Amino acid sequence: MISASEFRNGVTFEMDGKVMQVVEFQHVKPGKGAAFVRTKMKNVITGAVVETSFNPTDKFENAFVERRDMEYSYNDGNLYYFMDMETFELEPIDSSLMGDSFKFVKENMPCTIYSYKGKVFNVDPPNFVDLVVTRTDPGFKGDTATNVTKPATVETGAEIKVPLFISEGEKVRIDTRTGEYLERSKS
């Protein structure tokens, strides 16, 4: 059990059957009346953010969110299979749990799997990936306006915007959180 007076950023607890994580907190002691804890918290499963005030003596059940690093192996229909790097067991995860950023993941890439009470609720790919551009239009000489981009398809099939000087076969670094081109890959 954890009381509201013990809230700190990042603490996870169970409230009304939902898993919540403290984003911000503030202990308030007004001149008149009882002290309270003003809290901004996020539902870890849905991502919804809520602001609430609690009595410092309110008690909540601790929630332990398990984070495991697993390697993406392959997909079969609606199931994506991830391998635990310690036990080498494959775990199937439904495609509905894959976010938009998963379109940049290729086989054998490490991902972080989040679960609560054994139930997986989120899959996080690496923040940055290096992928080969498989299709893009050639850039034109003299087309040097600032920040001009063109569409490109990378080896996973995802489409991104790249600068005009990028050509097919080049490796580029992509931020999976925003889907933006960052730079030519150095590897």
The tens digit of pLDDT for each residue in 1-18 reads 899 889 988 888 999 888
- Single residue among 124, 153, 171 that ends a domain in this structure: 124
Average pLDDT over residues 26-55: 89
Instruction: Examine the pLDDT at 70 and tell me if it is beyond 70.
Output: yes
- Single residue among 47, 62, 77 that ends a domain in this structure: 62
Lowest model confidence (mean pLDDT) among 93-107, 113-127, 136-150, 155-169: 136-150
Regarding whether 9 and 58 lie in a shared domain, the answer is yes
> What order do you get walking across the sheet with 2-3 strand by strand?
2-3, 59-62, 12-15, 18-28, 36-43, 49-54
The structure's pTM equals 0.73
Regarding whether 170 and 143 lie in a shared domain, the answer is yes
Regarding whether 58 and 73 lie in a shared domain, the answer is no
pLDDT digits (tens, 9 = 90+) for 126-165: 999 999 999 988 866 655 666 788 889 999 888 999 888 8
Structural domain that includes position 15: 2-62
Regarding whether 71 and 96 lie in a shared domain, the answer is yes
Residues 102, 118: Cα–Cα separation, whole Å: 22
Q: How many domains does the chain have?
A: 3
